[in-house]
Amino acid sequence: MKIQNHSIRDNRPAFLIAEIAQAHDGSLGMAHAYIDAAAGAGADAVKFQTHIAAAESTLDEPFRVRFSQQDATRYDYWKRMEFTFEQWQGLAAHAREKNLIFLSSPFSLQAVELLKKLDMPAWKIGSGETVSGDLLDAVIDTGKPVLVSTGMSNWQEIDALATRLKQRNQHFALFQCTSKYPVDFSEVGLNIIQEIKKRYNCPAGLSDHSGSIFPSLAAMAQGADIIEAHIVFDKRMFGPDTPASLTIEDFKLLSRARDAFHTMTSSPVDKDQMAGAMHHMRDLFGKSLAPVQDLPAGTVLTEEMLSARKPGTGIPLDQKNSILGRRVRRDVSMERLLRWEDLDG
């Protein structure tokens, strides 16, 4: 699968998505600031969420976390998270200026129509929308690759989703995800990533809500193709996703690890060739025969007079028996190695 100029497959660096979601708290300026921060942290893409309150919610929707002192209902909160089409255009343009792929998850058909006009190179479907058939069909109809989180889905539901996508000849990737904010390490489910790859023959990754860098590092080390993690400027910031987010500094470390992991996994080493190239290190760390006491000229060597000491540039240890009984032709200090030229005959 390809997203713009990024190949999403084995033996390529993991594709890193910085999930901004609602970390901007409805501030357009903050949203733009997060784009700059994500670019500086080494992300490949930024992802927002496009909420249109009247199209997706009602006053009956409860808060997932009762966090807000300014929103009487969750509907009010979604309303406060809305941006105009022109504002979304500006965010998308800003991301592209920063060489970031712009993504935003739709939560209604109206959001799909809005985002289609921004010509995103791929779609990200959140865990709660995997059973929204109309939304999925609208996204699939665009022909763009689809990235889907499976945080609330069982295998039967994921099977049905994968079948739906394959029947439409759709390129797709699936994320292991656990829809808790934050999720405990014991519930991250790294084992499911490889099961997804094997079961559906598609790119697979981790959408993490732990608030820690460890799950993403472990997932990349195990060959995850895509990593998505929420970002936040500071863990003390306001918002429901802050406990489940990485700081910008954490995300920088994640991107550095991504590059390091790729270098290591794409650079197989020939053990014999590498060992042959280590001759200078053998000399440095190896040991040779050295006297345990000063040896006056004429001394006949016995085993008790010799020890093994660094470096490995003198008489090899396996030659000890061949020099026992020979005389030293000159004074030899115990502070240096014994050399062939020190010996008679």
Cβ proximity of 245 and 231 under 8 Å: yes
Asked whether the predicted pLDDT for residue 65 surpasses 80, the reply is no
CA distances from 189 to 9, 61, 234 (A): 21, 29, 26
Task: Say if residue 39's pLDDT is above 80.
Answer: yes
Instruction: Find the mean pLDDT for residues 238-262.
Output: 95
Inform me whether the pLDDT recorded for 279 exceeds 90. no
Domain with CATH 3.20.20.70 in the chain: 12-265
Query: Considering the domain 274-342 in this protein, what is its CATH number?
Result: 3.90.1210.10
Average of per-residue pLDDT across 251-264: 96
pLDDT at 69: 76
Omega prior to 203 cis, within 30 of 0:
no
Q: Is the pLDDT of residue 5 over 80?
A: yes
Q: Alpha helices, DSSP H only, in 141-221?
A: 155-167, 191-200, 214-221
Residues of the chain with CATH 3.90.1210.10: 274-342
Give the class (CATH, top level) of 12-265.
alpha beta
Q: pLDDT at residue 178 above 90?
A: yes
Vertex 165 angle, CA 164 and 166, to 5°: 95
Pair 50, 111: CB distance under 8 Å: yes
Please name which of 228, 186, 239 lies closest in space to residue 64, comparing C-alpha atoms: 239
Average pLDDT over residues 159-185: 96
What is the pLDDT averaged over residues 260-289? 93
Categorize the per-residue pLDDT at 45 as very low, low, confident or very high, splitting at 50, 70 and 90. very high
Residue-level pLDDT at 115? 98
Cβ atoms of 145 and 122 within 8 Å: the answer is yes
Q: Tell me how far apart the alpha carbons of residues 215 and 107 are, in angstroms, rounded to a whole number.
A: 27
From the CB of residue 162, how many other CB atoms can be counted at a distance below 10 Å? 20
String of DSSP letters for 70-103: S-SSHHHHHHHH---HHHHHHHHHHHHHTT-EEE
pLDDT-derived band at 239, boundaries 50, 70, 90: confident
Region 132-149: what's the mean pLDDT?
97
